Amino acid sequence: MGMMKTYIEEAERSLLHTYNRYQVVFDHGDGVRLFDLDNKSYLDFVSGIGVFALGYGNREYNAAIKRQVDKILHTSNYYYNVPAIEAAKAIKKVSGMDRVFFTNSGAEAVEGAIKTARKYAYLKDGRTDHEIIAMEHSFHGRTFGALSVTGTKKYREAFEPMIGNIRFAALNDIESVKANISDKTCAILFETVQGEGGIHPADADFLKEIRQICDEKDILLMLDEIQCGMGRTGEYFAWQRYGVKPDVMTSAKALGCGVPVGAFMMTEKVGESSLKAGDHGTTYGGNPLGGAAICEVLRQFEERHITDHVKETGKYLYEVLERIKNDHPEEITDHRGVGMMQGLEFDHSVADIINKALEKGLVLINAGTNIIRFLPPLVIEKADVDEMADILDECIS
């Protein structure tokens, strides 16, 4: 612990105090395991908050990144680069969307989606008083636009005023959405499965009804797939489970599996009548390194049938967590989720359980104060689920 303690003390002296970090310094990873500076092994059920979908030390991924590093990392968007073009083609194929804009993060992708909605509406009627309906308990990021549509007051209040004309409805409550719709509404935005808000999937009927309303009124349906997308629920994107396609969607996290990338995508109809040359930009977005990462991630997803694996192993994870819930009825009040995005809700804070698990070599994360969130690498096997369950059981007991 000596070396780790030194680094942790240095971090506390040097880094801005915006995180309450767990007392561990991770040094390297292998498969679904992380190792700290003392070489202690941990089973990882967080995957860097849903980022490291293909596991650590993935040789083919690392090789693809290294090849690109030796070629070129950055050119700016004044010029074309092959990896970004190939990445756009690959992501169009799995998403069914038509136009792609690459960013460096999920929050930036949400910012772009908001600008798209406003420009789309502006081009229709020349007005600048359009409204976006977002959901309570949602999480879309920490930049001003993304924060403005994040439906948790405590994240927003110190930074008011937010961007204006945002209304909040309740996920899966169609009447609350309808109550907020007016001739000013230009978009309805939500996570197909709410992540930070406690693992709440959208209901099929809710999604279908919203799609219908959006079609009738020419409102954009915008789905945030930053955490729940890229195979996490057993489909490339969670909306594909419902057969309801958005007009605009955001992606990030596992899209790059470690290299910071994001994207917002749209249909041709929206692309033709929203952002034009000069309306939006980014220095780093769509750089060759990010493009190479996306191409390799999508190549492996296809070659290794990742979504099929998630369906099968995710089902097993569901059964195991259901059993744990039934074994601890006095503490665990609910179990929700799909694929490898699941949550156990407790009637108390889960901080102690997560800390105990870390001591025993299991990495877990919370969603809110009383929910344990399970976001393992998508390549975990049933044996990893069993190992996780044994440690978790011990920590709860």
Architecture of domain 2-58+305-396: Alpha-Beta Complex (3.90)
Q: Using alpha carbons, select from 24, 29, 28 the residue that is nearest to residue 7.
A: 24
The residues spanned by each domain of the chain are 2-58+305-396, 72-303
Phi, psi of 384 (to 5 degrees): -70, -40
| Structure tokens, 170 | 């309740």
Helices within the chain (DSSP H only): 2-14, 47-50, 59-71, 82-95, 106-125, 144-148, 153-156, 174-180, 204-217, 268-272, 288-303, 306-327, 351-359, 382-396
With b for 16 or more beta-carbon neighbours within 10 A and e for fewer, the 119-154 pattern comes to bbbeeeeeeeebbbbbbbbbbbbeeebbbbbbbbee
The Cα–Cα gap between 62 and 215 comes to: 43
Neighbours of 20 (CB within 10 A): 6
Question: What pLDDT is attached to residue 47?
Answer: 98
β-pair partners for 31? 56
Query: Which CA distances in Å does 177 have to 156, 245, 300?
Result: 21, 18, 39
What H or E segment, with its residue span, contains residue 378?
A: none
What is the biggest distance separating any 2 CA atoms in the chain, rounded to whole angstroms?
64
Question: What pLDDT is attached to residue 397?
Answer: 85
- Read off the DSSP letter of residue 81: -
Q: How far apart are the first and last CA of the chain?
A: 27
Question: What pLDDT is attached to residue 1?
Answer: 67
Q: Using alpha carbons, select from 292, 340, 302 the residue that is nearest to residue 318.
A: 340
The Cα–Cα gap between 387 and 217 comes to: 50
Q: Which CATH number fits domain 72-303: 3.50.50.60, 3.40.640.10, 3.40.50.880, 3.40.50.150?
A: 3.40.640.10
The model scores a pTM over 0.85? yes
Contacts of residue 216, Cβ cutoff 8 Å, sequence gap at least 6: none
Q: What is the pLDDT along the chain (397 residues), one digit of tens a residue?
A: 689 999 999 999 999 999 999 999 999 999 999 999 999 999 999 999 999 999 999 999 999 999 999 999 999 999 999 999 999 999 999 999 999 999 999 999 999 999 999 999 999 999 999 999 999 999 999 999 999 999 999 999 999 999 999 999 999 999 999 999 999 999 999 999 999 999 999 999 999 999 999 999 999 999 999 999 999 999 999 999 999 999 999 999 999 999 999 999 999 999 999 999 999 999 999 999 999 999 999 999 999 999 999 999 999 999 999 999 999 999 999 999 999 999 999 999 999 999 999 999 999 999 999 999 999 999 999 999 999 999 999 999 8
Going by their DSSP bridges, the two strands 262-266 and 99-103 should be labelled as antiparallel
β-pair partners for 193? 201
Question: What pLDDT is attached to residue 2?
Answer: 85
**Placement of tokens 């901080």 in the chain:** 351
| Structure tokens, 247 | 């007009």
| Structure tokens, 257 | 């599996």
